[in-house]
Structure 1
Amino acid sequence: MENQIKGIHHITAIAGNAKRNVNFYTDTLGLHLVKKTVNFDDPNTYHLYYGDTVGAPGTILTFFPWEGITAGRRGARQATEIGYSIPQGSLDFWLKRMEDHNIIHNKVANKFGEDYLTVLDPDGLKLELTVAQNADNRLPWETNEIKAENAIKGFHNITITTNKIEPTAKILTDVFGYKLLEQHVNRYRFITDTVDNANIVDLVEVAGEVAGHVAGGSVHHVAFRVSDEKTLMEYRDKIEALGLNITDKIDRNYFYSLYFREPGGVLFEIATDNPGFDVDEPADELGQKLMLPAQYEGRRAEIEKYYLNYFNYVHALKNITTAGTPLANAKGALVLLHGRGGTAQNIISLAGEFNLQDMAIVAPQATNNSWYPYGFMSPVADNQPALDSALENIGYAVDAILAAGIARQNIFFAGFSQGACLTVEYVARNAQRFAGAIAFTGGLIGQQLEMANYKGDFAGTPILLSTGNPDPHVPLTRVEESAAILKSMGAQVTVKVFEGRPHTIIQKEIDLANQLIFG
């Protein structure tokens, strides 16, 4: 069977916002971000690969994220649904998870004797989480929240919608070696026995269906799997003999490929197992660095700068360290934000200096220990989408505190340096009556401060802004400008300047925080 098609190799789709895409597929679905690279034909478009631990064929879903792209439309001449395999007994877990994460989903349904849950990703891509009838013994990638008993195994099937099934079915059966397994109304299920999983193609025939539009939330192409380059070229000869246009062999670094458009209109790819995703980084470090094809290595500095925000500053929503009184038993909560190069763990040690009683400590952790790449007085656009991701992370922590029954007026905020800037920015964008806020050397973020970003009424919330003068990172003028804005929004603001103080936190500042905020 080595010279035959071995099911699905990978599926490539189109997304809009990269940060949102990464959060959904790694956090909500628990997939492994296997590779971060660029489109080999266009280095201004990056390419994200999600799969299992090693990026095995049959598990890889890839995306081209194009910010601002219009939404696609499902229809004929398209791959319209991606089926994932999930373990027996896991549907209740996934149903609750979709509800908890406010993900659009349908009720559990059944087709061909298999229960499945339909889910839409943030761009509208239709996914089906299916409990397969046949045993799926693939070992999945696990996360802190999604363990093996619930984790996605890899692909189960792909669905193609077509006006007439015969032309596409002929490619599947006569060229790829699939067989018709069963039919229900207008859905025809084809399967190959060369592999045990990721081996099903469903063709749905809708004679009058309008052709779909491939854009955001659409499948771009479906790749089928072969063992090696020799087999790949044998299939090229077969397809060319049918009179179909097919590309020459293309080196995609991680596999070799051919592309052709099947008669029903869907772009098909044939891809090799070799050489695999560990060809340019160790298997235990997959997805941690931006990898570039050889032709773009000379532009690495330029490309890394362009992609820095997207690849290195997307913060995991649930990477939060807690200490103190458990949230369920606490009377209040303190959100602590570390500075550039710091960690949640080391900023938590600061809480021991404060006069706290029955207080939960909540400290989000920034990816790569930095909340955004450039200085806080750089243009906001330069620090996006990292800044939005950081603010979203704080919002997630606050929501968790509120969900535990702690009122906003019992929530404190404190941060140092970059964390202090984030503290001020978050409370200014979400002004309400909080217990208090402390910015140890920080101010509002941006080259020019946009008042439209700052909304609400602090209703007397006490805020302490302390800083050294001069400070190498935070000008006193920005601290004073920030204080004026916070006061205009109803906060009781204290500004304390320590002449000659280095970029650190000194005991006098802690004493002042205890007096004004925690007293």
Structure 2
Amino acid sequence: MMFKGIHHVSAMTSKAAQNYDFYTRVLGMRLIKKTVNQDDTSVYHLFYGDEKGNPGTELTFFEIPNLAPNREGVSSISALSLRVPSDDSLQYWVERFDELQVSHGEIMERAGRKALEFRDFESQRFFLVSDEHNEGVKAGTPWKKGPIPLEHAIVGLGPVQLTVRKPQPTIRVLTEIMGFRASGQFSSHLENQPDILVFETGEGGSGAEVHVEERTDLPVQRLGRGGVHHVAFRVDDEEELYEWINKVNESRFQNSGFVDRFYFKSLYFREPNGILFELATDGPGFDTDEHIDHLGESLALPPFLEPQRAEIEARLKPLDTSLDQ
């Protein structure tokens, strides 16, 4: 068994409307599903992705109004990456970020690729990474109706960075249980800090990498707005997911067991440093209950929540997502 790459990442926001504006109008991603947190239906769960919401392109947010800011630290997913087609694309984004007053750094090299660090409106940390010399997991298809020229548009998720105080327990889970392989290391660009270690799965490349950063100088993360809740890895189908459930159980990790999210099936567990991992199937997909041309335009609820629609809608603050789809 081997994961096909990163499936999705889920983060925290306190303002769904501003989140929608930033990720669709500034970053040019498509809202592929407007739904609710299935574990707390009083709050939105927004999914962004490529043209079709393909696995490996999905960036999601739980909205919790009045949530305190994230305190960065260890035992965390400390940075996410978004893939763009070329090195030239990064210069396009520098100019766009300058124009729109988005906080960003300078173009740099990171894990053998050109990259550009930036922060969203809630100070969530991202890197745009160039696919120019990337090999491995195929990128997605950019959103044709978005505001970004297709030759520079975001085409999927790149490497996920984990920051931990003691890396070896995390590394053992990645390599001995989850089947990742060590594939390199690179400078952290911080003085007196060890190199960041690179692990990959499946076909490898930007869409299948986890970076492990060791930090002994930071407190434990306090998750808040601008922080990342979990990372999910791609499992081919439900049959394989059950094989992973058996393997995780045999490894004696407490876990969620099988969870039906309707758009995909999942398993959740925490690795030894407390970071939440999800294993998620590639299907059925986000066009299961909406036509591909109208993804994200209205509130979508899985069948097991549909009987509660009136009650759920009454608790949600209206969020108009129909204009740009």
TM-score (norm 1): 0.58
Question: 1:19–1:141: structure 2 CA closer, same or farther, 3 Å change rule?
Answer: same
What is aligned with 1:94?
93
What is aligned with 2:115?
116
- State the one-letter code of the partner of 1:100: E
Shift of 1:104: 1.0
- State the one-letter code of the partner of 1:160: L
Question: 1:292–1:171: structure 2 CA closer, same or farther, 3 Å change rule?
Answer: same
What is aligned with 2:72?
74
Is there any run of 5+ residues in structure 2 with no aligned partner, and where?
187-193
Partner SS for 1:37: strand
- State the one-letter code of the partner of 1:151: A
Contact 1:45 1:66 in 2 (8 A): yes
- State the one-letter code of the partner of 1:104: S
Shift of 1:209: 2.4
What is aligned with 2:309?
300
Instruction: Decide which structure has greater helix share.
Output: 1
What is aligned with 1:6?
4
Matched, 1:156 2:158: yes
Return the alpha-carbon distance in structure 2 between the equivalents of residues 134 and 45 of structure 1: 37
Question: 1:109–1:233: structure 2 CA closer, same or farther, 3 Å change rule?
Answer: same
* 1:48-91 alpha-carbon deviations (Å, 9 max, x no partner): 00001111111001001112111011110000100111111111
Is there any run of 5+ residues in structure 1 with no aligned partner, and where?
317-366, 368-519
> Of residues 223, 238, 250 in structure 2, which corresponds to 1:214?
223
TM-score (norm 2): 0.92
- State the one-letter code of the partner of 1:16: S
Matches within 5 A, 1:35-434: 35-88=33-86, 89-132=88-131, 133-135=133-135, 137-184=139-186, 185-194=194-203, 197-307=206-316, 309-312=318-321
Contact 2:83 2:130 in 1 (8 A): yes
- State the one-letter code of the partner of 1:98: F
Return the alpha-carbon distance in structure 1 between the equivalents of residues 170 and 101 of structure 2: 37
Shift of 1:207: 2.6
Return the alpha-carbon distance in structure 1 between the equivalents of residues 281 and 146 of structure 2: 32
Contact 2:296 2:321 in 1 (8 A): no
Shift of 1:137: 4.9
What is aligned with 1:19?
17
* 1:98-150 alpha-carbon deviations (Å, 9 max, x no partner): 11111111112222221111111111110100113315553211345312100
Return the alpha-carbon distance in structure 1 between the equivalents of residues 33 and 170 of structure 2: 31
* 1:370-394 alpha-carbon deviations (Å, 9 max, x no partner): xxxxxxxxxxxxxxxxxxxxxxxxx
Partner SS for 2:307: helix
Return the alpha-carbon distance in structure 2 between the equivalents of residues 37 and 145 of structure 1: 24
Instruction: Decide which structure has greater strand share.
Output: 2
Shift of 1:294: 2.4
Larger radius of gyration: 1
Contact 1:7 1:199 in 2 (8 A): yes
- State the one-letter code of the partner of 2:97: M
Partner SS for 2:106: coil
Please identify runs of 4+ aligned residues in structure 1 that moved more than 3 A.
135-138, 193-197, 305-308
Contact 2:2 2:202 in 1 (8 A): no
- State the one-letter code of the partner of 2:96: R
